Amino acid sequence: MARKSRSSWFREKREEIAELAVYDPDRGPERLGRLLATAQERVPRYRALREREEVELGDFPLTRKADLRAHFLDSISRDATGLMEPGRFFLTQTSGSTGQPVALLSTAETGGLSNDVIRERFNAHLALPDTGTVLNVGLLFGGTPLLEPVMLPRPYVKCNLGGFDPDSPGIVADYDAVVGRLPVDLVTGSSSRVIALARYCADRGIRLRPQGVVATYEHMPDSGRRLVEETFDRKVTMLYATSETGYAAFECGRRRMHFQDDFVLPEITPAGDDEVGEIVLTHLLSTPMPVIRYVTGDLAPRPTTCDCGLPGTVTDGLVGRTGSSLVGLDGAAYSPYALLAALCTAGLEDFQVVQHEPGLLDLVTVGAQAEAAVTVRSVNARLGEHFGAGTGFRLRHRPGAGFVLTAGGKRNPVVQRLEVAQAPERTRYIHS
């Protein structure tokens, strides 16, 4: 790493990232205009728009996961002869958090640039050192090394641990070898795994004092956030991203989410509630295969203002994800986060919620099963106090079942096998 950080390649990349890390309000409209013109003129999927003199963002249809799968070839930019534009291309595949992975086309020149720039912005926001060590408890693919050097946007060594599993001797050995034995500048990973790491440290009296704690992918319930912040003596910063559009937004000190509008343009469209809408993203550097008006499945309050000094479209944080909504006996959609918060607060070591039928949730757990059974009875009693006959849901403990993994090996806290009604999620049904 030291040798590579002295190379001309590293200096050039660092200078490019540093220049783009300065927010420029003019870059967003310029990139949007270029992206829409490219899509109109060169993408077969949008050939119906070619007769228009000018197009605006609203002229393009909403894009969902199924559209990306169905229109993969028709979504690639091509010239008049049908050839792709020159460049070094690569395919990426999403993790398939809803059970259906999606392939996307990008270029080596721009594919990771926006992610590096946005990461550099929140590195500066968190006042992280120029180099250091990351404890990563996020998604790991097969073959990921325990220690991994990463050069951009800053040279760091990643300690890749994944989620703690007390029944896996290899994972237990890795945690014993790393956690508390190495200095850590940054803790990062999916929200549920960051919470599990905090509980691991708290139970064993391990003192980690990172400069930053960054949680991604899932909404972090307030009870879990309190545990993490008390354990690490550091505020949590939520980083919002999707596999299809990359990093898109991060929290300020007031816990409001700021979208990086010069790289990813957000819309928060009505979802049947005046206060909450679906997050729709357009990736402004996705010209090889334009990702325009992608429906993320995440829900957020309508845009607001913030005086913290960070730029970009602002919302008061995520409130749910339609792909992981729970379906009640009444067919209504319920946010999973109040339930996940209650299960986390109860101290379950590791768990997953799987739904196959309305009103009934299978709870898969590891560790002490008798304690988990007590938790299920307690939570069901509280759910019963709130829900009347024919509404809501209950838990069914499934200690012998295995965790459900995505095609990429990722384990999500909620696996939804049912069609979820296109309606606002109900959230106020249990308190942790």
Tokens representing 213 are 């704690």
The pLDDT assigned to 271 comes to 59
Give the pLDDT band of residue 68 (cuts 50, 70, 90). confident
pLDDT at 377 over 90: yes
The pLDDT assigned to 414 comes to 87
**Neighbouring-strand partners of residue 158:** 134, 148
Give the pLDDT band of residue 96 (cuts 50, 70, 90). very low
The pLDDT assigned to 407 comes to 54
Residue 212: φ, ψ to 5°: -145, 150
The 10s digit of each residue's pLDDT in 8-46 is 999 999 999 999 999 999 999 999 999 999 999 999 999
Residue 388: φ, ψ to 5°: -90, -175
The mean pLDDT value for 155-161 works out to 95
Tokens representing 113 are 């640039």
The pLDDT assigned to 110 comes to 61
pLDDT at 108 over 80: no
Q: Is 156 left (phi over 0), alpha (psi -120 to 50) or beta?
A: beta
Tokens representing 14 are 């660092």
Sheet containing strand 156-160, edge to edge, reads: 147-150, 156-160, 132-137, 186-190, 212-216, 236-242, 246-251, 257-259, 314-315
pLDDT at 388 over 90: no
By percentage, how much of the chain surpasses pLDDT 90?
53
The radius of gyration of the chain from alpha carbons, rounded to an integer in Å, stands at 22
The pLDDT assigned to 97 comes to 47
The 10s digit of each residue's pLDDT in 267-292 is 997 755 567 788 999 999 998 889 99
The pLDDT assigned to 88 comes to 64
User: Where would I find the beta strands (DSSP E) of 138-184?
Assistant: 147-150, 156-160
The mean pLDDT value for 188-212 works out to 92
The mean pLDDT value for 160-186 works out to 88
Give the pLDDT band of residue 230 (cuts 50, 70, 90). very high
Side chain identity at 368, as an amino acid letter? A
Give the pLDDT band of residue 362 (cuts 50, 70, 90). very high
pLDDT at 216 over 80: yes
The pLDDT assigned to 222 comes to 76
Q: How many CB atoms lie within 10 A of CB 209?
A: 10
Spatial CA neighbour of 247 closest among 334, 101, 119, 335: 119
Name residues whose C-beta falls within 8 Å of residue 354's C-beta, 6 or more positions apart in sequence.
361, 362, 364, 398, 401, 404, 414, 415, 417
The pLDDT assigned to 98 comes to 43
Spatial CA neighbour of 266 closest among 313, 215, 230: 313
Contact criterion met (CB below 8 Å) for 245 and 291: yes
